A = this chain, B = another copy of it.
């Protein structure tokens, strides 16, 4: 009897996206889901109550960090990780593998396990599949991960193949080491070899796990390859178990992962970027440090209904960031997590309504157009050419241009585009074309300061 139960509610007919429900000892999760990362028994800058308000249903904690400090045995004596950190919902713990392998020169791998030096004090430690499970059992997470080797990218094929075989042997040892019945255990297939490692995938499934994860993505490879690996791998995972892509990613990566048929994701991007002043919006990323926000009375994203966007201006958030205030990290983190978790909610809705392909297309279009605009801007800047309305480009069947005249009152956007969708063909600010539910004509009626 598994500690968790996965109910595959529906697979989108327009894509590979799956809608599911995962029941754990600490509550039910709707999938696809994003898991905020709480490395040191806290999702940085957030309280558990705020995580719930931002939409979090499950969080991830890092086995390596908690083993090092405060120590898994201490956490166990204090009643386990949930009680220790005052988080009532489900927790997934990684295996510590990724952190240990990222220590580089400080670690040595053998069949038995990994010997390494602490990043805190240089002391020597040893983690094997058995100790990784023991640590995760002491922490008391709802979902444990098998201890795996993460080969670097790029790596020699022969090395990767050998590594994958060992990871599979380690997976069996993890399963055998697992004592309790109230924690689930996921197996891991390393992504870099995912195209060829049919034998390992089969071996993993024969061992039998409560869920399966794709590892070794987002380790330095190009995005296109990451997306390819996800698309190639998903069909080989069992239909009736949750599928988890480890360590990704940017919002567009999550959309691609869902499209490929994955259910669970985690990444430090929303939290880490927030602390560096980068916030996600429905019209692209925004760096709150920018001088253009100095007197901007708008919220980060006028379309967003999170606590931060309901109460604080970009000008204030910029001031907090420049002043090094803790509240800057708090509010940016809150907003970014809300963005990620709302994106997952929208994706689930789109799957439920059997229109994920369209949802993804629209999302990707935004992303594409932003990339194009960014490139245009960089090209112009490099060429030291003045941006005027005389410049215009056609890209992916859309005409783009720059307007010297009025700017969008919401986003400050000064780019125009001509809508390629018949029968619209209206010209308007790019931000509206891309992201706003408001009709473009509303903006256009204010004047046409450019010639298309």
Contact = CB atoms under 8 A, between A and B. Distances in A.
A316 B84 contact: yes
B313 A84 contact: yes
A23 B316 CA distance: 28
B327 A42 contact: yes
A368 B122 CA distance: 45
Contact of A294 (B44, B74, B315): B74
B41 A319 contact: yes
A225 B313 CA distance: 45
A327 B47 CA distance: 7
Nearest to A318: B70
A297 B322 CA distance: 38
Nearest to A77: B295
Contacts of A41: 316, 319-320
A106 interface: no
Copies of this chain present in the complex amount to 2
A378 interface: no
Interface string A146-174: 00000000000000000000000000000
B42 A325 contact: yes
Q: Is chain A's interface secondary structure helix, strand, loop, or mixed overall?
A: loop
Interface string A278-297: 00000000000000001101
A309 to B, nearest CB: 12
A329 B47 CA distance: 12
A326 B326 contact: yes
A420 interface: no
Contacts of A387: none
A311 interface: yes
Contact of A319 (B40, B315, B326): B40
A289 B338 CA distance: 33
Nearest to A50: B47
A70 B319 contact: yes
Interface in A26-69: 40-42, 44-47, 69
A69 B319 contact: yes
Given A47-B330, A70-B315, A86-B311, 10 more contacts: A69-B319, A70-B319, A74-B294, A74-B295, A78-B313, A78-B315, A79-B297, A84-B313, A84-B315, A330-B330
Interface of A: 40-42, 44-47, 69-70, 74, 77-79, 84-86, 294-295, 297, 311-313, 315-316, 318-320, 322-323, 325-327, 329-330
18 contacts: A41-B316, A41-B319, A42-B323, A42-B325, A44-B326, A45-B330, A46-B327, A69-B319, A69-B322, A77-B295, A78-B313, A78-B315, A78-B316, A84-B316, A84-B319, A85-B316, A86-B316, A326-B326
